Structure 1
Amino acid sequence: MLGEPEEAVARSRDAVQLARDGSQPSTLVLALHFAAVLHQFRGDPDTVREYASANLAVAIEHRFAFWQAGVTVLLGWAGAATGAEGTVLLEQGIEAWRATGSRTYPAYFFVLLADARSRGGDTDGALAALDEADRVGAVTRERLCESEVHRLRGELLAGRSTGRAEASLRTAVTTACAQQARALELRAALSLARFLRDRAPNEARAVLVTATTPTGGLRNTPEMAEALALLRSCALVLNDLAPDVPEQPGSRPGTH
């Protein structure tokens, strides 16, 4: 979230190892769960599946219904993210989680459901999941994925209502910025810049420059590489839009 992904991965790995070295299964499921969540935020479904599968075994063995439900959600997302049918499994996980009576993580789970439905081409279903994320987030005051809700909604609305899409994407950027969530700010800025590139390339470039300076721990991330490529693309668009400048007399080589 704060833009130090490599440090986050290292600390998560240490936490899992400490939990495995101990003898408390409740500590282990916690460490494995958040390791899977971390890699979900990083967009790494294979590693999510690795940690979530290990966690599922522990949750089943010790009858941790809450963690079993959460693991099912993450496994469903990992399936959808790799082109498999994961949406149904994800929905089952949310229903199992609701059955526990817990009010923890609801907005996050619905963001994952929106992402999975979007990948499957179900735009209406994805938007409905984001509306549910807003609803439960207002009750629980969960703000972890607030910028992601706006970002995903903006991307989904881009083909339907450009005004609403742009407003959502701008809100995503300002929300992440206010939370000092550098990684989510960069992600939101990418979505906004893609939207603006052909409409307002100068502003798209400015959005990206702000989000990529300084690079910090995001330097080697796929999002940073994409942002730099998009900056170059904006420059090309601006170059194409620039009016031809007539050649000045005496400016040809060899005329002086």
Structure 2
Amino acid sequence: MDESKTDGYLMAIYRLQRSDRRVSPSAIAAERGVTSPTVTRTLQCLDEEELVDYERYRGARLTASGERRVLAALRRRRLLERFLTEEFGYDRSEVHDEADALEPHVSEQFVDRIAARLESQSVGPHDAPVALVESMARRERALQSLAQCEQGATVVVSAIEDQSLETLASLSKSGVVPGTTLDVLEPSSTGELTVEVSETGEQVSVSADVASAVSVVHVADEPTHDHRQHTEAR
């Protein structure tokens, strides 16, 4: 099977999988934009390669080998993004497509040299650790999408999945970037989610699709208004 296709399926399972539960072929089909029979055939091939553990009617989960491959791909991607950002001045909204074009053509030796050049520090421009893949695995398992957050939650943006350049630029302009703390205010009747950027107090409306692509770490259960009062008191 083509390596990029294999990595795409493994990445889809990684994003959908939580803890040790299995992912259904229909969920993978929706993520990949293909039919369920196509997914089933692919999962059978990946099972033979021992990259996934697939059981009919129960779904698939990554094996240890499959997860190592995904984490290596994530490390490669984050290093490329950070290298382009820090060494060549790419904007956050531009770096994704450029890294997409480069990634299939770089060797692991080249990636290791990038890591050495950047001294393997902790994050890339869209976040996620680049040096300690074990830490990455533990951290990403704790993530949830912004769309899943309840009203009143306080969260920190960890990563933003593939979005158009315009969307990334708009989020960046509003302050919704990795590392930003957000207070989840309320959903609207149009399906948008209203959040408040804690550092600036700016309220931002985020569409349901974009909210699903913003990964966050939950940091507090206290109601949003209490959080603001605490901030103002300081």
Same fold, judged at TM 0.5 (above): no
Larger helix proportion of the pair = 1
- Structure number with bigger Rg: 1
Does 1 or 2 have the higher relative contact order (CA < 8 Å, sep 6+)? 2
Q: Shorter chain as normaliser: what TM range?
A: 0.3 to 0.5
TM-score by length of 2: 0.33
